[in-house]
Amino acid sequence: MKNLIAVLGLCAFVMAPLGSAYAEGEVYICKTENGGREYRNTGVTKDCKRMDMPPGTLIVAPVKKPATQTSSIKPANSPADFPKVDSATQKARDTDRRQILVDEMRTEEQKLAELKKDYNNGEPERRGDERNYAKYQERLALMKDDLSRTEKNIEALRREISNLK
């Protein structure tokens, strides 16, 4: 099956340039038996007329010269009316952001500890509504997903905190 797909792909690759060259030949407009129009590359039937079409025109795009590299990169200038923040205000905002991230991480760590306790190393206690083993397995899978998601959240928060100065 793979060989067939490879052969078909190769045929399409080889035939593509031939198809575009063949399209530049003569074009006939023919009437179909239900009265519609059909465009063909041969006019072998009696209801076909050759269309006079101008030859194809090839326009070559101009070649752009590569921009010369300067040794120093100029920083982007901000507009004059762009709001500026003084360093003390920015430091306060950064401190607030850090504190928010730390608080979120503590909350996620508490949630993780509670989830691990409930998960009980993959054998949580069965509830009364879980007489069916499939329901128990479903709850177990949801618990695994919650554990995994919480661990990933903690990792992301640690990365974000480490990126702060």
| Residue 50 located in a structural domain | no
The tokens for 23 are 């399209």
| Residue 104 located in a structural domain | yes
Q: What is the mean pLDDT of residues 89-98?
A: 92
Rounded distance, CA 27 to CA 39, Å? 7
| Residue 156 located in a structural domain | yes
| Residue 45 located in a structural domain | no
Please give the radius of gyration of the chain, using alpha carbons only, rounded to the nearest integer.
35
**Domain range spanning residue 146?**
98-163
Res 79: pLDDT: 82
Q: Is 108 exposed, middle or buried (0-12, 13-18, 19+ CB in 10 A)?
A: buried
What is the total count of domains within the chain?
1
| Residue 44 located in a structural domain | no
The tokens for 91 are 């430091």
Provide, rounded to the nearest whole percent, the portion of the chain with pLDDT above 90. 31
Whole-structure pTM value:
0.47
Rounded distance, CA 146 to CA 111, Å? 10
Query: Tens digit of pLDDT for each residue in 118-153?
Result: 888 888 887 777 778 888 888 899 999 999 999 999
| Residue 149 located in a structural domain | yes
- Contacts of 118-126 spanning 24+ positions with Cβ under 8 A: 118/143, 119/143, 119/144, 119/147
| Residue 120 located in a structural domain | yes
| Residue 119 located in a structural domain | yes
Which has more confidence, 65 or 38? 38
Query: Tens digit of pLDDT for each residue in 1-16?
Result: 555 555 455 555 555 5
